[in-house]
Structures are given as structure tokens and as C-alpha cells.
Amino acid sequence: MFRALADGSRRAMVARLVDGPASVSQLAEPFGMALPTVVQHLRALEEAGIVSSEKVGRVRTYQLVPDALVPANAWIVAHRRPQERRLDRLGDYLTNHHPTQEN
């Protein structure tokens, strides 16, 4: 999932899909890239379970998979807490050992 989201174009496509389903050509519009390139990006997102697609006639439409990003968010939250505790300890240390100087 993180590999799929590492690319800025893919993150932008996910952000667009927050507003609702979109076709490949709609998703390609803001990027100025060839449709096969957009399809490759969408395939990576689909393989990661972030989006799903449906083909009706000649039009393939993509939409976000509900709660697909929940596992990634859980991982981020679990790894953020130790960092926050370290920063809190650093802040306490700086406050107690390096008082601010007044001019």
C-alpha cells in the first residue's frame, strides 16, 4: 500500500476519487500523461486494494475502496506515538536545562 501511495500522481488520483468515481480519462486530465501511463498507475492502486474498477462498455470507472486506508493509518498512528514521546521528552529537557534568555 505504501509503495502504491509513494507516487505523487497516484496520491493525486486517490485525492480526486475522494469526490466520487471517475473514468480513466477524467483521472488523466490534470496530468497530461498518456492514458496507458495513467492505467499503470491505477493498476498499482488497484493491486494495493486502494481502488476498484468497473468497466461498462468501453469506459472503465475507478472508485475508492471503502476503508482501504485504515490499515495504513493504524500503522502510522502506532509508529507516531513513540516519536511524539521522544519529542515531548526533548521539549521537557530543553525547558528545564536551557531557560530562555531575556534581552
Please tell me the predicted confidence (pLDDT) of residue 26: 94
Q: What is the pLDDT of residues 13-65, one digit of tens each?
A: 999 999 999 999 999 999 989 999 999 999 999 999 999 999 999 999 999 99
Give residue 21's pLDDT.
96
pLDDT surpassing 70 at residue 99:
no
* Residue 18 CA, distance from chain mean position: 11
Q: Which helix (H) or strand (E) holds 89?
A: helix 70-97
Cell reading at 57: 462498455
Contact assessment for residue 23 and residue 65, using Cβ atoms and an 8 Å cutoff: no
pLDDT for the residue numbered 102: 55
**Cα–Cα distance for residue pair 17/20, rounded to 1 Å:** 5
Phi, psi (5° rounding) for residue 63?
-145, 155
Residue 103: per-residue pLDDT: 47
Which of 36, 53, 54, 45 shows the shortest CA–CA distance to 10? 45
Segment 67-95 mean pLDDT:
80
Structural domains for the chain: 2-64 (1.10.10.10)
